[in-house]
A and B are shown apart, each in its own frame.
Chain A
């Protein structure tokens, strides 16, 4: 098991290097620092001198891969690739285009993201499982048929609609909750409630539908027939047997997103004005601040790989038949 984990962690490095090569290629090779400077300076101020100065100020004044002016190892290390990509591995994220320290921003902003994403994850899971179980309980009836169509309808609604409708009706028309914003401590609760509510509602369609298929698969298995043959009530069969076994694929499937909860949701956060990592990223994309976007891509990939690793481990924890090798 330990050996397997070590191998998996080592396997993560080539993937992360691949991710970095892709983003580096997109941001700095295709779209050279000269272009970046032109965009940031605006059309009026573009002179070769201004571009050089902008590049020097923001640390883009190095060659991409090979520094022919350098000495010895410096030829390879004093380059943009090392500066911008490899340093990410040491969690040295550098500075954003406006001079702020990216690492500090991330540290401050991940908590609001988590404050939204974690409740969404937990309550979403609970809501989806409840609905899926209800549909299984009424399976092969007209009610279930209507339920499935209802779920398909729910998942056909744009995520933006849930947010906009939630903000309009709950916050503006009925004034139950603030429309957007964020506060500290107890104050945060009333700001968190609406985004969490909206995100859970938006996820029900696809989530409950997926869990329903998982439970349906379980209910066709032999052990369920045995349980029924023993004379167990349908409720007992559902809760003691089907729910327990169905939870294995559900939980292991959910584990992969656990680390990504830190990075938050782009759209929800920016709509509700949550100062988390999602809105941070979206602002960076709009301002074309590649240093931040690259860092967020790196962070997202690393957390995703961590999630895959956790998934493997969780398999062995919930299902003793699975052995990692």
Chain B
């Protein structure tokens, strides 16, 4: 689908539309949270924990990158036609990062190529030496002398820029808070630096913001003269690829839930509430699905989709569109095979809930089954749903890499950490060792998954009544 927009054309890929739909759903859910006192309290206790705030901030940074990469545009060329290439907002923001490919591998921040080549000197003598890179350090006159100095000044400039930017952001946040709370900015600031107990951990937010801004600043200034994380086999910038992979990871981690949740909630509630033959049928379905080894089930389904896409090659207008359809199919497949765990959990919980007095009372008043399920049962299991969504997210991001290795992951032309790892894993055997594509992909993946896991841990503590009891019991003993 395409829409005209100023001097470009907005291209809406399938996953783009669904990502924004998901953003809308999240917005509606947050409004619901703000209105409900109990939910607000639970989320408050997530944000009180410094760990919860810090991990949420990092997650939001990733989400921002992912969303910027989910608005695709085609530029209008001088001749009035639209460009064939589709670029996202993120591509435009990163701009130069992708514009200066090298010939092949080059190390992070390198000014010279990785391997010696025969070079013709001006006086006609041929020598073997490390040639200069096309872009990395090309502005230096004599890299052997200037390189260290140049890199440190650039890095220092970037760190300073990042620090300034984060201070400005912090000031802005403080101002907003002071308007919102109708307090003087000084008092708000004091509250942030020395938080009272049970207040939102703004200090943790600011510190995380500072670290993120400094990293971004240093990356930006260095990227203007070097390939910060080196280049890959065909000379593409590794940092650029990793940033583009953020969207793939997020899409797999989140869009899958769009398929999982309706199935898991619907079938889980029905099985637990109606019992009898409904329960038998649903239990049969999920035991059958569960008994198939997960990777094999996904592999089988993906192979089928792959054949389908190959046969309908002509109906996709671009490689990006084809890769996008395959990504969507992968999410669907993982979702269709991954709802059993949550459905089982919900069924067990509903079996208990349906015997509660308030459900009996509702039934005695003649409330319909549908009403009971929606009004009385669903609100009482929503913490289980939330916890499972947050906990599954990190597993899905990690699974993408495994699936890509098996050969049933996202399209090979799509940027993803799995594809990066898969392409570079044999390069550790080279001399000299090419470690940077692997290191960068793993670091990005680790940062996202760690933030998600820490966040999930805090969310579970806040929402799971059992986890709460455990803590108090433990504290009581200590």
Contact = CB atoms under 8 A, between A and B. Distances in A.
Nearest to B285: A18
Contacts of B121: none
Given A140-B477, A153-B450, A164-B428, A15 B303 contact: no
Interface stretch (B195-203, B215-223, B292-300, B355-363): B292-300
Interface in A157-184: 157-161, 164, 167-168, 172
Contacts of A263: 293
Nearest to A26: B300
Nearest to A149: B454
A316 interface: no
Interface string B274-297: 000000000011011111110111
Interface in A20-54: 22-23, 26-27, 30-31, 35, 39
A304 interface: yes
A231 interface: no
Interface in A280-297: 281-282, 285-286, 288, 293, 296-297
Contact of A220 (B284, B407, B474): B474
A267 B453 contact: no
B313 to A, nearest CB: 12
A159 B284 contact: no
Contact of A31 (B307, B394, B446): B307
Interface of B, helix, strand, loop or mixed by DSSP: helix
A158 B450 CA distance: 11
Contacts, number: 127
Contacts of A153: 450
B296 A297 contact: yes
A260 B290 CA distance: 13
Contact of A159 (B296, B398, B438): B398
A158 B473 CA distance: 34
Interface string B455-478: 001000000000000100111011
B454 A152 contact: yes
B402 A159 contact: yes
Interface residues of B, number: 48
B97 interface: no
B406 interface: yes
B401 interface: yes
Nearest to A307: B291
Most chain A beta carbons < 10 A, residue from B304, B402, B407, B475? B304
B405 to A, nearest CB: 6
B408 interface: yes
Contacts of B303: 26, 31, 285, 288
A158 B446 contact: yes
A258 interface: no
B453 A168 contact: no
A296 B402 CA distance: 19
Contacts of B406: 266-267, 282, 285
B292 A300 contact: yes
B446 A286 contact: no
B50 to A, nearest CB: 12
B24 to A, nearest CB: 29
A39 B310 CA distance: 10
A220 B473 contact: yes
A76 interface: no
Contacts of B429: 172
B284 A14 contact: yes
Contacts of A31: 303-304, 307
B398 to A, nearest CB: 5
Interface string A139-152: 11000000011001
A264 to B, nearest CB: 11
Interface residues on A, range: 35 or more
Nearest to B475: A140
A9 B356 CA distance: 35
A297 B300 CA distance: 10
Nearest to B447: A156
A27 B405 CA distance: 21
B449 interface: yes
Interface in B360-386: none
Contact of B446 (A157, A296, A305): A157
B288 A15 contact: yes
Contacts of A305: 291
B394 A19 contact: no
B450 A285 contact: no
B165 interface: no
Contacts of B470: 213, 216-217, 220
B457 A164 contact: no
Given A140-B478, A159-B398, A172-B428, A35 B307 contact: yes
Most chain B beta carbons < 10 A, residue from A19, A39, A139, A161? A161
Contacts of B473: 220
B425 A160 contact: yes
Contacts of A22: 288-289, 292, 297
Most chain A beta carbons < 10 A, residue from B295, B301, B308, B401? B295
Contacts of A285: 296, 299, 303, 406-408
A113 B303 CA distance: 25
Nearest to B457: A152
B304 A30 contact: yes
B270 interface: no
A155 interface: yes
B442 interface: yes
Contacts of B475: 140
A168 to B, nearest CB: 5
Interface string A211-250: 0010011011000000000000000000000000000000
B293 A297 contact: yes
Interface of B: 284-285, 287-293, 295-297, 299-301, 303-304, 307-308, 311, 394, 398, 401-402, 405-408, 421, 425, 428-429, 438, 442, 445-446, 449-450, 452-454, 457, 470, 473-475, 477-478
17 contacts: A19-B291, A26-B301, A26-B303, A26-B304, A139-B478, A148-B457, A156-B449, A156-B453, A157-B442, A158-B401, A158-B421, A159-B402, A172-B429, A220-B474, A220-B477, A266-B295, A293-B299
Given A220-B474, A296-B296, A304-B291, 12 more contacts: A23-B292, A139-B478, A140-B475, A140-B477, A155-B453, A156-B394, A158-B446, A159-B398, A167-B428, A267-B406, A285-B296, A301-B293
